[in-house]
C-alpha cells in the first residue's frame, strides 16, 4: 500500500518539516473535528491557521461551492462574473472604510496589492514602515515587510524601502517617517508573532500620524479579521479607520482567497493593467466567501464569538492559576489567543494535546496559539480545556522540560 508520508518525503519540497508518525494525515472534517487515516478524531483548536472560521465542511459553504462549481468555475478576469461583484459589495458594505476591492488568492498577495497601491499613491514615495515581530507573508515584498529576521535571513538582499518600528511604541514609528514614506502597515493584533494586541493609544497615534504626514495606514487583518475577535474586523475595537484593509485566510471558508479593500479616496489609484491575478475573484471561491460572510454576519453570531472567547479566556486563566505554572500567562481577544507557557516548554504541551486528539499550535519555545473555529460550541471549548489542563499537569510532572 502506498503511504502518504513516503510520497510526501519523496516528492514534496520539505518546507513544512512534518514529522512522520507524529503528525496525522487528515482525511475528513466536520464542524470542529477532523479525522485521520486511522479514524482517530481530533478537536480542532487551530482552524487550519485561522482559516476554517465556519468549521469544517459547513453545510452552507459546501452547498455554495457545489452549486457554483457545477455552474461556472473560471473565466479569467477579462469578463464579468456575478459572485466576485456580489462579494465585493458585501465586503465594502460591511467594512467601515467603504471603497472598493481587489481580489487575490492569499494573504501575501492581498498585502502585495496594498504595498503596490501605497507606492503608486504618491509618486516618489516608496517606503513602508511595519512592526517588529509582524508577519505579512512570504513573497519577497511581504517577507521584507515581515519584521522577523529569522524568516528573512536566508533570502538577503531583501527589497529596500522597508523599516520596522517597535509594536506599541508610537515614537519608534514616528522616527522612521521621512519624505519618501508611503505607508505604515500593521496587524491590529499580531498573530504569528504571538498574539499581541495593539494598544488603543498606539493605533490612534498611528492613525493621527498617518493623517498628519499624508501617508496611508494599512491594516493587515489576514489573521485577526473575519470575526475572530468578536467583531468582523479587529480594528472595530479601536474606533478608528484605516485607509486600506487586507483580508484572506477565513474569508474563503477553506478555499484560497485574499482581498484588498481600499477606502474610496484610494480606490482609483491602481489603473487597468497595473495589477492583476489570473485566479483572483474566482467564482467558486467568491461563492464560498459569500456563504462564509452570510454565516458570520447573521444576527447574534459575532456576539456569540465574544461570549465563547470569554469562556476560553476564563478557562485558560483558571487552568494556569490552578496549576501554578511559573511565568505563565494568557493573551488574546475573542477566539484568537495565546498561552505563555512560562517554565514549561510549549512543544511538550502541544505533543501531549496532539496525542490526546486536540490540535493547537506551538510558536516559539514558550508560546501556544489557539484559534478555534468561530462556530465551536461551548461544550467543545470545554472538552479542549480539559485536555489542556491534563497536558499542563503532565508537563509539570515531567519537570517542565
Ligand atoms: N498576514 C498575516 C497577518 C498572516 O497571519 C499571514 C499568514 O499567516 C499572512 C499575512 C500571509 O498569508 P498567506 O499565507 O495566505 O499568504
Distance from C-alpha of 107 to C-alpha of 260, rounded to nearest angstrom: 9
Q: What is the pLDDT along the chain (401 residues), one digit of tens a residue?
A: 789 999 999 999 999 999 999 999 999 999 999 999 999 999 999 999 999 999 999 999 999 999 999 999 999 999 999 999 999 999 999 999 989 999 999 999 999 999 999 999 999 999 999 999 999 999 999 999 999 999 999 999 999 999 999 999 999 999 999 999 999 999 999 999 999 999 999 999 999 999 999 999 999 999 999 999 999 999 999 999 999 999 999 999 999 999 999 999 999 999 999 999 999 999 999 999 999 999 999 999 999 999 999 999 999 999 999 989 899 999 999 999 999 999 999 999 999 999 999 999 999 899 999 999 999 999 999 999 999 999 999 888 876 54
Query: What SS3 state is found at 262?
Result: strand
pTM of the full predicted structure?
0.97
In this prediction, residue 396 carries a pLDDT of: 85
Q: Three cell numbers at 337? A: 489567543
Residue 135 Cβ contacting ligand 1 at under 6 Å:
yes
Distance from C-alpha of 159 to C-alpha of 51, rounded to nearest angstrom: 29
Distance from C-alpha of 341 to C-alpha of 330, rounded to nearest angstrom: 9
Residue with C-alpha cell 508611503? 182
Bridging pattern class, strands 181-186 and 127-131 = parallel
Residue 137 Cβ contacting ligand 1 at under 6 Å:
yes
Give Cα 267 distance to the centre of its chain: 24
Mutate to test the pocket of ligand 1, among 16, 104, 138, 223 (most ligand atoms within 8 A of CB): 223
Q: Let me know if 208 is a catalytic residue.
A: no
Alpha-helix residue ranges (DSSP H) falling in 124-276? 140-145, 149-152, 170-174, 200-213
Atom 13 (ligand 1) nearest CA: 107
In this prediction, residue 257 carries a pLDDT of: 98
In this prediction, residue 268 carries a pLDDT of: 98
Residue 193 Cβ contacting ligand 1 at under 6 Å:
no
How close is the Cα of 312 to the center of ligand 1, in Å? 24
In this prediction, residue 398 carries a pLDDT of: 78
Residue with C-alpha cell 490612534? 204
In this prediction, residue 345 carries a pLDDT of: 94
Q: Which of these, 213, 250, 216, 256, lies nearest to 233 by C-alpha position?
A: 250
Distance from C-alpha of 311 to C-alpha of 378, rounded to nearest angstrom: 8
In this prediction, residue 98 carries a pLDDT of: 87
Q: Let me know if 220 is a catalytic residue.
A: yes
Half-sphere exposure of 341 (CA within 13 A, CB side): 27
Contacts of 210 (CB under 8 A, 6+ apart): 183, 184, 216, 217, 243
Amino acid at each position: 500500500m502506498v503511504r502518504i508520508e513516503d510520497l510526501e518525503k519523496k516528492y514534496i519540497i520539505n518546507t513544512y518539516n512534518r514529522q512522520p508518525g507524529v503528525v496525522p494525515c487528515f482525511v475528513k472534517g466536520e464542524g470542529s473535528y477532523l479525522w485521520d487515516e486511522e479514524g482517530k478524531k481530533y478537536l480542532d483548536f487551530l482552524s487550519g491557521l485561522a482559516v476554517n472560521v465556519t468549521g469544517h465542511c459547513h453545510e452552507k459553504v459546501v452547498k455554495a461551492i457545489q452549486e457554483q462549481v457545477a455552474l461556472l468555475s473560471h473565466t479569467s478576469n477579462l469578463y464579468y462574473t456575478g459572485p466576485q461583484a456580489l462579494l465585493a459589495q458585501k465586503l465594502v458594505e460591511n467594512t467601515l472604510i467603504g471603497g472598493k476591492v481587489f481580489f487575490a488568492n492569499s494573504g501575501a498577495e492581498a498585502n502585495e496589492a496594498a504595498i503596490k497601491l501605497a507606492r503608486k499613491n504618491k509618486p516618489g514615495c516608496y517606503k513602508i514602515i511595519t512592526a517588529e515581530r509582524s508577519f505579512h507573508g512570504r513573497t519577497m515584498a511581504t517577507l521584507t515587510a515581515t519584521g522577523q529576521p529569522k524568516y528573512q535571513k536566508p533570502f538577503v538582499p531583501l527589497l529596500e524601502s522597508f523599516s520596522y518600528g517597535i509594536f506599541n511604541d508610537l515614537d519608534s514609528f514616528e522616527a522612521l517617517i521621512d519624505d519618501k514614506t508611503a505607508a505604515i502597515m500593521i496587524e491590529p493584533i499580531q498573530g504569528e508573532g504571538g498574539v499581541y494586541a495593539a494598544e488603543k493609544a498606539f493605533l490612534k497615534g498611528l492613525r493621527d500620524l498617518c493623517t498628519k504626514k499624508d501617508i496611508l495606514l494599512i491594516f493587515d487583518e489576514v489573521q485577526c479579521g473575519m470575526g475572530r475577535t468578536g467583531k468582523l474586523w479587529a480594528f472595530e475595537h479601536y474606533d478608528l479607520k484605516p485607509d486600506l484593509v487586507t483580508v484572506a485566510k477565513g474569508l474563503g471558508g477553506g478555499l484560497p482567497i485574499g482581498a484588498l479593500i481600499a477606502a474610496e479616496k484610494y480606490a482609483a489609484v491602481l489603473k487597468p493593467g497595473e495589477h492583476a491575478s489570473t485566479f483572483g475573484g474566482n467564482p467558486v471561491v467568491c461563492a464560498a466567501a459569500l456563504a462564509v460572510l452570510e454565516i458570520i454576519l447573521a444576527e447574534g453570531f459575532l456576539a456569540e464569538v465574544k461570549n465563547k472567547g470569554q469562556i476560553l479566556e476564563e478557562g485558560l486563566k483558571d487552568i494556569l492559576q490552578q496549576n501554578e505554572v511559573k511565568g505563565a500567562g494568557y493573551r488574546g481577544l475573542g477566539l484568537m489567543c495565546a498561552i505563555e507557557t512560562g517554565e514549561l516548554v510549549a512543544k511538550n504541551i502541544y505533543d501531549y494535546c496532539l496525542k490526546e486528539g486536540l490540535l493547537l499550535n506551538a510558536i516559539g519555545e514558550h508560546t501556544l496559539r489557539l484559534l478555534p473555529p468561530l462556530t465551536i460550541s461551548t461544550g467543545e471549548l470545554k472538552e479542549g480545556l480539559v485536555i489542556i489542563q491534563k497536558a499542563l499537569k503532565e508537563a509539570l510532572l515531567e519537570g517542565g522540560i
